[in-house]
Structure 1
Amino acid sequence: MTDNQPTPDRIMRLINGYWATGVLAAAATHSLFTHLENGVDTAAGLAARAEISERGAQTLLDGLVSVGLVELHEGRYRNLPDASTYLVEDTPVSLARFAKLKLKHMGALTDLADVVRAGGPVKAPVVEVANNPHWEEIVKAIAPQSVPAATAAVELLGLAEAGEISILDVGGGSGIYSGTWLEANPAARATQIDWEPINAIARRLLDERGVGDRFTCVDGDFHTTGFGTAEHDVAVYSHIAHQEGPEANIEVFTRLRQALKPGGTLVVCDYVVDDDRSGPAFPLIFASEMLLKSKQGSTWRQADYREWLLKAGFENVAFYSAPPGTLVIAR
């Protein structure tokens, strides 16, 4: 067989891709990446530190080497840079919680073939309610995904030098944007609109960051809660547009435009695809989750955001890469 001929290897890895999710989630559950980062470098050592079987530790290490997160060098294991940066626990960008969370979602994929045929969910969708106890887990798990975008926006918008500005965060969840921006600008103040239990989590997290005295929460559903008129210098709408259809997004963008002072800026972050739908890779595959779970959601194109924002009254729309998402800045 020549080098140019296809082999079944990549297809087999994709067919069995759920094993990568399982191995990654199990390794995160037992803190293997953290232990490796702290110098434990053998299966026996990891088994002892994590209080798991040595057979189990070796199996996880084999899997992590297979998916390119851990390397073996002269009989010793160590994290590769991606794992060292994003899977060690208790760092601002750690995705270890998210890895454990996604393991619980794998069962829903068995419906995907039927969902594709129907064009949307085939089972009654889970109706999110404000008092669901899972918010504590979910809010903390998804927050690190927004750290790159929130950090990039500080520089793009010149927030550190912006003085006494007012920030509106719609559906702000953990308050990751408000927390990052308030740390960068000690004169800024932020208001978050979200459900009461989620706001309670955000208040606690921002108190821990030492900026809670400049952070206000409005309890409510952003679909029905007012945003105010000409009250804010900056507004942020992060990882929500993919859950909504075109009309709903235009309606929210219009209200956000009205909430901004003249010359104000809207920051949208989401998984945005190229206009010809050729990339980026993660937003393209994330569209499957929206088909599975929502009636109208999708990963929308840059052209869609530009059209909606112009209809909402914004005059200038720009896009900036902030993996795994894209920052959309509208003025």
Structure 2
Amino acid sequence: MTSVQESPSVMPIMNMVYGLWVSQTLVTAHERDVFGRFAERPGMTPGELADVLGLQERPVEQLITTCAALGLLQRDGAGYRNTPMTDKYLLRGGEDYVGGWIEVVSRHDYPGWLKLDEALATNKPTAWDTEKQTSMFDNTDTVLVETFWEGMAAISRPTAQAVAGAVDLSDARSLLDVGGGGGAYAVGMTRAYPQLRATIFDLPFVCDLTEKKVQRTELSDRISFAHGDFFNDPLPTGQDVVLLSMILHDWDEDQCKHILRSCYDALKPGGRLLVSELLVDDTKDGPLDATLMSLSMLVETFGRNYTGAEYREWLLEAGYTDVEIRPFDAPAANGVVVARKP
């Protein structure tokens, strides 16, 4: 008897096609402050929300029913209210607010992604003008710059907690956060380890933006700043720990190796380097978040997301020892590569 092979479903492809629809639903609801309105008045009907927003009922109803289908809203009698997830992550001013990242992606990333084929054909970023800028960080648009760093902080806060839990820094006294703009990692690591003092090394304008954020925390007396460019300036030396979080994927292989050597020079003997990234599998067939971020680097930088094996090779080449990878699950990284300076 011949068995009939079941035909594969077309739905995974259809769900990929719908990806833009889903993301734009979230972006538009966030920009219209739909979730803030429901936090103020839970249970509003589509008509009541339309009045608050100054819009017609038909499009508002279509938007919020889709938000409900996505798990962003839930029915409350004749109206709707936020879900616990929405209240936790999408209310402006909340400690866990990730709306900054939504704004970065919608304002900065999406225009580049819509020209993905151009990036593929030219091997150049499409999210910024390569004729006028040297990198995505060379931007004079202050609103976009501040939005970028706010967005990075949004996804870095929970990731910093994951990094702190994946390593034991109880014997460390100094941490250098290289490219630590936004301050989320310095704050998270010093909060997790009370004996630790952190230095954020970044470009002057980034340090200026970050210093204001750090001053609003209870940790400002344990976090200092060093201005510089890690391609042209030496890093502060004598460090117990050096952290690179979401830094290396912005740069090509030779630039990554340069940064790793500079970090080696900054460490004390016995000091540790932490590289926190969305690591691509060594087999280069996943995971999806890391591979999508890598493709995002095509439209944003001249870098890509690298594998754990690639980092291991570069670290050993630079003189590090005891290289290991500690996986975890977080928005901005799926693991940390740990290496030691002998």
Smaller-chain TM-score bracket = 0.7 to 0.9
1:55 aligns to 2:58 (yes or no): yes
After TM superposition, give the deviation of residue 80 of structure 1 in Å: 4.3
1:177 aligns to 2:185 (yes or no): yes
| Percent identity of equivalent pairs | 27
Whole-angstrom CA distance in 2 between matches of 1:22 and 1:51: 20
Contact 2:273 2:338 in 1 (8 A): yes
Whole-angstrom CA distance in 2 between matches of 1:70 and 1:8: 28
In structure 2, which of residues 78, 88, 92 is the aligned counterpart of residue 89 of structure 1? 92
After TM superposition, give the deviation of residue 96 of structure 1 in Å: 1.2
Residue identity opposite 2:182 in structure 1: S
1:202 aligns to 2:210 (yes or no): yes
Contact 2:207 2:225 in 1 (8 A): yes
1:103 aligns to 2:103 (yes or no): no
SS of 2:158's equivalent?
A: helix
1:267 — aligned with what? 274
Whole-angstrom CA distance in 1 between matches of 2:281 and 2:200: 30
Deviations 1:266-319 (A, max 9, x none): 121222111112322111122221122323x11111111111122222212223
2:3 — aligned with what? none
Whole-angstrom CA distance in 2 between matches of 1:157 and 1:180: 13
Pairing of 1:20-31 with structure 2 (within 5 A) = 20-31=22-33
Whole-angstrom CA distance in 2 between matches of 1:28 and 1:137: 14
2:156 — aligned with what? 146
SS of 2:226's equivalent?
A: strand
Instruction: Compare 139-148 and 109-118 and name the one that shifted more.
Output: 109-118
1:112 — aligned with what? 116
Deviations 1:1-35 (A, max 9, x none): xxx65665553443242222221111111222344
Whole-angstrom CA distance in 2 between matches of 1:6 and 1:67: 25
SS of 2:115's equivalent?
A: helix
Pairing of 1:101-250 with structure 2 (within 5 A) = 101-104=104-107, 105-121=109-125, 124-125=129-130, 126-127=133-134, 128-129=137-138, 132-133=141-142, 134-159=144-169, 161-162=170-171, 165-229=173-237, 231-250=238-257
Whole-angstrom CA distance in 1 between matches of 2:87 and 2:12: 25
1:251 — aligned with what? 258
Whole-angstrom CA distance in 2 between matches of 1:71 and 1:185: 39
Whole-angstrom CA distance in 2 between matches of 1:291 and 1:131: 22
After TM superposition, give the deviation of residue 69 of structure 1 in Å: 3.2
Q: 1:244 and 1:18, CA in 2 relative to 1: closer, same or farther beyond 3 A?
A: same
1:312 aligns to 2:312 (yes or no): no
- Over the aligned positions, Cα root-mean-square deviation in angstroms equals 2.6
Whole-angstrom CA distance in 1 between matches of 2:171 and 2:272: 12
After TM superposition, give the deviation of residue 49 of structure 1 in Å: 4.9
Whole-angstrom CA distance in 1 between matches of 2:99 and 2:255: 33
Q: 1:182 and 1:240, CA in 2 relative to 1: closer, same or farther beyond 3 A?
A: same
After TM superposition, give the deviation of residue 241 of structure 1 in Å: 0.8
Contact 1:28 1:97 in 2 (8 A): no
Q: 1:49 and 1:224, CA in 2 relative to 1: closer, same or farther beyond 3 A?
A: same
- Give me the TM-score of the superposition, normalised by structure 2: 0.84
After TM superposition, give the deviation of residue 202 of structure 1 in Å: 1.3
Instruction: Compare 109-118 and 246-255 and name the one that shifted more.
Output: 109-118
2:298 — aligned with what? 291
Whole-angstrom CA distance in 2 between matches of 1:72 and 1:9: 27
Instruction: Compare 147-156 and 278-287 and name the one that shifted more.
Output: 147-156
2:21 — aligned with what? 19
Whole-angstrom CA distance in 1 between matches of 2:192 and 2:207: 21
After TM superposition, give the deviation of residue 176 of structure 1 in Å: 0.7
The unaligned stretches of length 5 or more in structure 2 are 1-5
Residue identity opposite 2:138 in structure 1: V
Deviations 1:191-241 (A, max 9, x none): 111112211121111110122122221122121121133x11111111111
